[in-house]
Amino acid sequence: MSQPGRSQEPRRRLQPSTPRARGWPPAGSRAARIGPDGNGASQDESPRSGSPPGGTRKGAPTPGAEGGASPGRAFRGSSATGLPGATRRRRASAPPAGARRARVRPWPAANRRQPGADRAEVMALEQGIRLRTIFLLLMGTILAIATTDVLSGSVGLLRETAARPLTAAEQNLYVQEDIARRWHTWPTTLVFPGELEYIGLGRTQQYARRVGIAPEIPCRAGTDAAVGAILSENGCRTLLRATYVDQTSTFAITVGVAVMEDADKRRAATGQLATDDRVGVRPVAFPGTATELFGAAQRQRNAWVGVGPYIVFSTAGYTDGRTREAVAQEEILHSELWPAAQAVAGRIARALGAEPAVPRCTQGNVC
C-alpha cells in the first residue's frame, strides 16, 4: 500500500561509479582534488587525521546526509554524480570574486630572441657609433679650417686697411689711375674750359672762347681715314671734341681728345701716326656761330700731342671760309693762327695729364 508523503516509484539505488584507470586523473589536478563522488576527496587519498582507518564506520551516517540516513538511501536534492547538490559544493569551494588570482608565468622560451637577431642589432649599433664618430670628426675638421680661414682673412684685412705710408709704386699707380679716369669723371666743362688764356706773337695775352662741345663719337668717325685706322688698331675708346675762336673770332680751332686704353697703347699709336699736317681730327662747326663755315677744306694745319692715355689733336682755320689753297704759305707762317691753336690744345693736354696730389698714407695723410 502506498504511504502518504512517499513516492510510489520504486526505490533507486545509486550505482557506484566506474573504477577509474590507474594514474588518472593526474595528481594535483582539480579532478583529483574533487574526487568522483563530488565531495572534494579522491578515493585514492587516505582519510584525514582523526578519522578511523578504513573510512566511515559501517552503519554510521554519511556526512551530509540528513537525519542519519543510511548510505544506500539517497539524500533528496543531492547526487554523487554532479547534480545540483554537488554543484553547490563546487561553487562553495571556488575562490571569492574579489580574490587575487595567481599570475601565470609566461613560457620561458616565448620571449627569448634568436642569437642572430641580437648579433645584428649589436652590429647595427656599432656601425651607427662609427658613422657618428666619423661625422663628428669631419665636422670638427671643417669648422677648424673655416675658423682658421676667417681669422687669417681678418688679420689680412686689418693689415690692408690699416693706415701706412704709400710706397713709390703705389704712388705711381695712384697718379696713373687718377689721370686715366678724368675723361669720364670730370665734367665736359672741365675737360674743355669755357675760356683759355694764351700768349700771342707780340707777347700779348690773348683769350680763346669755347663755341660749343660736340657729342662723343667713335675715333674712326671723328678723324681722317689714315688716322682713324691707327687709333682703332691700338684700342681707341672714344673721341671728345670742342671748337674755340679767338678774341676777334678770326680763327676757328677744333680740339679733339682721343681716349686710349692706357699709356702704352697711346705710345704705340703715336709712334705710327704720320707727321703730315694735312690729316688729323675733323673740325666741328656750330650753325649760327662764327664757326659755321669751318669744315675739312678750311683746315690750314693739324697737329697732335700725347699725354697719359690721351692723344690731343688740334686743327685750325679761318672763320671766313678760306681754304688751305686760298691762303698763301707766307701768311700762314706769320699769322697768329697756328700759335693760338697750339696754345689752346696744349692747355687742355696739360690739364688732363697733370699729376694729382698724392696722399702720404693709405688712409689719407695720417699714418
Using the predicted structure, report yes or no on whether residue 348 has a pLDDT greater than 50: yes
Say what the pLDDT of residue 64 is.
42
* Cβ atoms of residues 303 and 313 within 8 Å: yes
CA atoms of 240 and 233, how far apart (whole Å):
18
Adjacent-strand bridge partners of 245: 209, 252
Report d(CA 72, CA 309) in Å as an integer: 147
Q: What is the bridge-based pairing of β-strands 299-307 and 251-260?
A: unpaired
Opening angle at CA 257, ends 253 and 260, nearest 5: 160
Q: CA torsion angle for 130, 134, 140, 146 (degrees, to 10)?
A: -160
Least confident of 97-111, 113-127, 277-291: 97-111
More confident residue, 276 or 263: 263
pLDDT band at 66 (very low <50, low <70, confident <90, very high): very low
pLDDT in tens, 46-59: 444 444 444 444 44
pTM: 0.57
Q: Are 170 and 360 in contact (CB under 8 A)?
A: no
Greater model confidence, 164 or 198? 198
Read off the pLDDT band of 100 (50, 70, 90).
low
pLDDT over 90 (residue 18): no
Q: Which residue has the higher pLDDT, 14 or 169?
A: 169
Residue 120, CA distances (Å) to 112, 113, 124, 207 in order: 15, 12, 6, 102
Q: How far apart are CA 35 and CA 42, in angstroms?
A: 4
pLDDT at 53: 44
Q: Following DSSP, what letter does each residue of 79-130 receive, concatenated?
A: -TTS-HHHHHHHHHHSPPTTSPPPPPPPPTTTSPPPHHHHHHHHHHHHHHHH
Rounded-to-integer distance, Cα 120 and Cα 71, Å: 72
315 forms beta bridges with 254, 302
Q: pLDDT-derived band of residue 32, with 50, 70 and 90 as boundaries?
A: low
Give dist(CA 142, CA 181) in Å, integer: 44
Residue 89 predicted with pLDDT over 80? no
59: nearest Cα among 67, 70, 50, 51? 70
What residues does each domain of the chain span?
181-353
313 compared with 31, residue with greater pLDDT:
313
299-307 sheet: strands from edge to edge: 195-199, 205-217, 236-245, 251-260, 310-318, 299-307
C-alpha cell at 343: 696754345
- Radius of gyration for the chain, computed over Cα atoms and rounded to the nearest angstrom: 66
Lowest-confidence pick of 59-73, 190-204, 234-248? 59-73
- Looking at residue 270, its pLDDT comes to 93
Spatial CB neighbours of 169, under 8 Å, sequence gap ≥ 6: none
- For residue 356, CA distances in Å to 41, 69, 149, 150, 192 come to 130, 147, 38, 37, 18
